[in-house]
């Protein structure tokens, strides 16, 4: 025989009492329905979960380049920080050999460019360019920076070894790997002046041969006339020389230009 639950028995008994009282005293009031309590559930209600959104990754842009190893970056979250690049050493600013070339290359490569920063360490932060290349490895490979030996990064050490063998950048002359001192100056050997050009003396003109010609006999001076040497001697004019008054070739028998010399 099916057994009824106790609560149902109580409800039926209450209805029976009310029915009897209604029959005795008149119409019985309609009883209020008894709502049975639902059995307690053993399953706890699901906990309300608030929707959580992961924060957006911060992106960085280089705003200033101090040298090849130190840069200033601006973050997309409004922060500004100075970053020391991990694993590299730059030439001594201003005076180190290859310092100007290193700084110019760093400015061209980084200034105004987007970069990704690695985890911050005591020795610096790894910087990755927008194309995915590691900035430190690229700078060492091209000979603009040297590898910091205390970084213990095999990839950077291998890049420096290749640059050194190829004498790339600061590994070539005049620096030859020295970056903490000015470029060595090479003494300029004095250049001996060229020997003077030998100029040939102009040939001397042939000597002018002057022919000595006897001057023409002067015209006899007719202001004095001597018929013979005796007359000339008597006049005290002898001897008579050619050109003197009274000289005549007729009186100069030997033709030596002196007449009446004897």
The pLDDT of residue 4: 65
Q: In whole angstroms, what is the distance from residue 50 CA to residue 43 CA?
A: 21
Q: What is the pLDDT along the chain (262 residues), one digit of tens a residue?
A: 556 677 777 777 777 777 767 766 655 455 555 555 555 555 655 555 555 666 778 999 999 998 889 999 999 999 999 999 999 999 988 888 999 999 999 999 999 999 999 999 999 999 999 999 999 999 999 999 999 988 889 999 999 999 999 999 999 999 999 988 887 766 556 677 777 776 666 677 777 666 556 556 555 555 677 778 888 788 877 787 888 887 888 877 887 888 787 7
Report pLDDT for 231: 81
3-state SS assignment for residue 67: strand
Tell me which DSSP letter residue 172 carries: S
| Centroid of chain to Cα 27 | 114
- Cα(63)–Cα(74) distance, rounded to whole angstroms? 7
Domain ranges (residues) in the chain: 60-171, 218-262
- Going 92 to 181 to 95 to 157, the CA torsion angle's sign is negative
Reported as half-sphere exposure (CB side, CA atoms, 13 A), residue 8 has a value of: 4
Give the pLDDT score at 28. Answer: 46
According to the model, what pLDDT value does residue 39 have?
Answer: 53
Phi and psi at residue 64, in whole multiples of 5°? Answer: -155, 150
* pTM assigned to the model: 0.52
Distances (CA, A) of 2 to 58, 195, 207: 73, 143, 174
Q: Which residues pair with 80 in a beta bridge?
A: 74
What's the CATH number of domain 60-171, 3.40.630.40, 2.40.50.90, 2.60.40.1120, 3.30.70.1110? Answer: 2.40.50.90
pLDDT of residue 259: 79
């Amino acid at each position: 025989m099916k057994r009824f639950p106790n609560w149902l028995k109580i409800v039926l008994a209450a209805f029976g009492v009310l029915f009897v009282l209604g029959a005795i005293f008149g119409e019985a009031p309609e009883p209020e329905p008894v709502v049975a309590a639902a059995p307690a559930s053993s399953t706890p209600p699901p906990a309300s979960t608030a929707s959580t959104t992961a924060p957006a990754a911060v992106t960085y842009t280089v705003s200033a380049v101090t040298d090849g190893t130190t840069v200033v970056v601006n973050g997309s979250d409004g922060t500004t920080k100075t970053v020391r690049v991990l694993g590299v050493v730059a030439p001594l600013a201003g005076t180190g050999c290859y310092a100007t070339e290193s700084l110019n290359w760093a400015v061209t490569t980084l200034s105004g460019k987007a970069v990704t920063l690695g985890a911050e360490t005591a020795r610096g932060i790894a910087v990755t360019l927008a194309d995915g290349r590691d900035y430190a490895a690229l700078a060492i490979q091209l000979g603009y920076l040297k590898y910091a030996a205390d970084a213990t990064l095999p990839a950077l050490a291998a890049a420096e070894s290749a640059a050194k063998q190829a004498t790339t950048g600061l590994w070539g002359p005049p620096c030859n790997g020295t970056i903490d001192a000015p470029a060595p100056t090479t003494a300029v050997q004095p250049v001996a002046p060229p020997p003077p050009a030998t100029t040939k003396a102009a040939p001397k003109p042939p000597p002018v041969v002057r022919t000595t010609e006897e001057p023409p006999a002067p015209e006899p001076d007719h202001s004095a006339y001597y018929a013979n040497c005796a007359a000339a001697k008597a006049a005290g004019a002898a001897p008579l020389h050619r050109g003197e008054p009274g000289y005549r070739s007729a009186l100069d028998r030997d033709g030596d230009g002196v007449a009446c010399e004897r």
